[in-house]
Amino acid sequence: MAQSFDPWIGRRLGRYTLRQRLGGGGGGTVYAAWDETLEREVALKVLVPVPGAPPEMLDRFRQEAILTARMNHLNIVPIYDVGDEQGIFYIAMRRLSGRTLGDLLNERGPLPQEEGIRLLLPLAEALAYAHKRGIVHRDIKPANVLFDDEDRPMLADFGIAKALDTSGEGLTVTGTTIGTPAYMSPEQAAGGPLDARSDIYSIGILLYQLLT
């Protein structure tokens, strides 16, 4: 079936020409794009402010770029660039195969115990790396685990991540519920304060899903 028309295809943002829509969600729309300067393909996440959109949406988008740019880990999708053009914000990231952990689960169902643990261990290490830097992901789920060409799992989409409070309390801002309900910790579902333990709860759910 042919893809529906997307007026963004062929458009240029900064040095990037959009070629194909890859997906989208609350954090923005992701396109395969061509970097005209470095002559390489990237994944470009684009967020266009729309009337009535909550102001924190732009803040979360900027925060994704800042937080992810601080990290350098084999199992975290790296970003290359961030910019805006006439109010259109974008983040250039490494382009992966597009295959997700959700795809793997749909193809194979539950995995053998050793394989499931071996798959999630590097993701747990990536989270530990982020947590040491005061970053909570807040949306651990199969769709946010991507595989590279060597089948290495990589954690993506820190778009709703929040830096841990710098006041020393080690908590994120309360009163908002952001994430995917099926993978939320109880305190996250209640809109309460979060820390690294909320991510640990979510990755525990992911492991349970992988093995059962």
pLDDT tens track for 77-126: 998 998 888 878 898 999 998 789 999 999 999 999 999 999 999 999 99
pLDDT over threshold 60, residue 71: yes
pLDDT tens track for 127-142: 999 999 888 888 899 9
Residues 72 and 114 in one domain: no
Which range of residues forms the domain containing residue 197? 101-211
pTM: 0.81
| Both tokens assigned to 173 | 């801002």
Is residue 2 in some structural domain?
Answer: no
pLDDT over threshold 80, residue 26: no
Query: What is the C-alpha separation between 118 and 103, in angstroms, rounded?
Result: 18
Q: Identify whether the C-beta of residue 33 lies closer than 8 Å to the C-beta of residue 19.
A: yes
Looking at 74, 94, 114, the residue that finishes a domain is 94
Is residue 77 in some structural domain?
Answer: yes
- Pick the closest to residue 28 from 50, 9, 13 (CA basis): 50
Sign of CA dihedral 83, 55, 25, 182: positive
Looking at 62, 94, 126, the residue that finishes a domain is 94
Residues 151 and 62 in one domain: no
Residue 152 or 66, more confident: 152
- Pick the closest to residue 75 from 156, 135, 138 (CA basis): 156
Residues 77 and 108 in one domain: no
pLDDT average, residue stretch 172-193: 73
Enzyme catalytic residues: 139
pLDDT average, residue stretch 180-203: 88
pLDDT at residue number 38: 97
Total domains in the fold of the chain:
2
User: Of the given ranges (19-33, 110-124, 158-172), which has the lowest mean pLDDT?
Assistant: 158-172
* Residue that has been written with the tokens 């295959």 in this structure: 99
Tell me the angle at which helices 101-108 and 196-211 cross, rounded to the nearest 10 degrees. 20
pLDDT at residue number 165: 36
pLDDT tens track for 171-182: 344 445 556 888
